Structure 1
Amino acid sequence: MTDRLKALADAGVSIWLDDLSRERIESGNLAELVKERSVVGVTTNPTIFAGAIADGERYDDQVKRLVADGADVDKVIFELTTEDVRNACDILKTVADGSPSDGRVSIEVEPDLANDTEGTIGSAEALWKAVDRSNALIKIPATKEGLPAITHAIAHGISVNVTLIFSLERYREVMDAYLTGLEQARDAGIELATIQSVASFFVSRVDTEVDSRLDKIGTDEATALKGKAAIANARLAYAAYQEVHSGERWQSLADSGARTQRPLWASTGVKNPDYPDTLYVTELVVDGTVNTMPEKTMDAFADHGEVTGDQVTGRVEESQKVLDGLEAVGVDFEDVLLTIEHEGVDKFKKSWTELVETVRGQMEKAGA
């Protein structure tokens, strides 16, 4: 086991791999990462699946069978991806059996439904039933329309990874949706301890947008704030998490067996080459969180990452000063968050289009 990754895990950070492919599953690579690199979870998205399917011959036989059976492209995507997630869940089962909250594998609802509550609910229910593993998580976007879908899923015992969270305001709405779902589940007699959830708070995209605006301003004061907004925003999100999960409403649910909706730091690969490649791991170390990272970031941390204790708790004032500083130099942070949320949903949908085109190409080859 890599010592630096073990040190990260020992600090209370659950290491989840932001990648999945049939090659990883069938070659034993995923099992090896679990054993040797402290990986205790997996997240996926349509872009990840598109890359895996385009590059992997291991999907060919299943595609041929499905095409021969008359399946359309949506059916093929559904079958390929749910099989991968099901098999990954089986690999992570030993982790899940020994942990109250890890050993989870996420799969996204159909992105075109991001602004369709009923459609999202239907997609979440279909994925949950098809994967049929208690350690699966269904990824639902934190759009306004996604919030009631989150509540519905939780209320019906479906574990959820809430994705595309950028703002503190939306994050509080997500936590409220989770607690409401738990309350409804309790009323329905569902055992709350069986329900899992994480809230995926996106990190690097915040700096990408903020830094671009700071560069346009160009003053020394603006330049000094580059690379600070994302971490400050995430630290404030963690403070909100602590607040909500220390209140009476939460305590009542906890007394009934509910588990916290852990913050998950997403988009932790560094996009600016001038920044340390482990920035969004090292600076967000805090007990009880998840960091889902691409393998490149994981490798970088294994090589030279540092764990120097809790980097998040008690840094509210410092973090707020960063956001106040942005406003002072002319960056409208609320507009930043609104912009990247809209971009996030657009990218979410484009990644689905990429997956559809990839699978359609594989289907055409299979039917040739």
Structure 2
Amino acid sequence: MKSITPQMQQRLDERKTKGNLRSLPSIQLPHNFTSNDYLGLARSQALGQMIANRLAELGAPAHGGTGSRLLSGNSDFAMALEQKLAGIFNAEAALVFGSGYQANLCLISSVAQKGDTIIYDQLSHVCLKEGAWLSKAQTFAFLHNDLEDLERRLKAAEGNKFVVVESVYSMDGDDAPLKEIATLCKRYEARLIIDEAHGTGVFGEGGNGLVCSLGLEHDFFARVYTFGKAMGVHGAAVVGSQELIDYLVNFGRPFIYTTAMPLHSLVAIEQAFNYLSKNQHLQAELRQRIALFLKQFPEETDMKRIQSNTAIQPIVAQGNERAKAMAKALQSKGFDVRPILAPTVREGEERLRICLHTYNTEEEINALCQILSQPL
């Protein structure tokens, strides 16, 4: 018997033909413009030492979650961390998850029932969409950041209404018009859910995200914060009312049937926020790097840069082969920039996704922009 079915082999062959077969990369280049470690916390030796010191202080084994939170995997430390996170994010309660994918999947698939309606931005991350599809609710996409289309969908929605957006969109790097979306949701009595994956750490006091920086936290039914990007560690949390958290503990299958995070991961989250609270200047440093890139990006070029004021700066390449060739040209000069191919983005919108970080030097950014000013 062959290891995979003929249908599986056919799908792989189709990917090869289209030039978008995925494989695990092994690139190690000196100039990193691809990771989500926007504030450099993942490489911070000072943060690493804080985590090690805290673990030594606790004097407990750091490996193994041992079971689900509802069995052997809960701890006083986990519950204290959740209280701390609720305070940071100006919420009543919080629930920790192993990843943002798991948190979004759990939240969205659990809260909507048959007869309800979920409306999500068409550029939402796949975990938000899959959470909607796994629910028994009707699901609809609205045009990206299009308030008129969202209102049209809300007018036609049935049952309990849920609107799902992101604060910063991972492929285009733009942010959502949150105040206007919140106003629409109030008007149509819809519950608003947001994924702050690329806003956590980068915005707000102590890294509490774009929603809190705008003072809109009370307009949201639920918010999801992830810690594997700007916070430099791992995991995520859903925040909201105590009743919402109680509901997820009882009905959120991806939470109930998953082994708890080990102590080391919980300590890393705690210390990452402690570190950022004492190094809030990192946010300003990141904004300086973004401003420099926008200033230096060549005005006369055949490349289309998607308008973004965040650390994510996409350049449309149009075509998988073109995107791969452009990335290879940059990599040959030591710049780690990766192509984003269809079907991750729509055909015709293949791109380079340039990510800026506090540790990118002025010389690196200037050199990258100089290369981009020439044909690739």
Quickly name the TM-score band, shorter chain normalised. 0.3 to 0.5
In our comparison, the structure showing a higher alpha carbon Rg is: 2
Q: TM-score, length-normalised on structure 1?
A: 0.34
Which has more helix, going by share of residues?
1
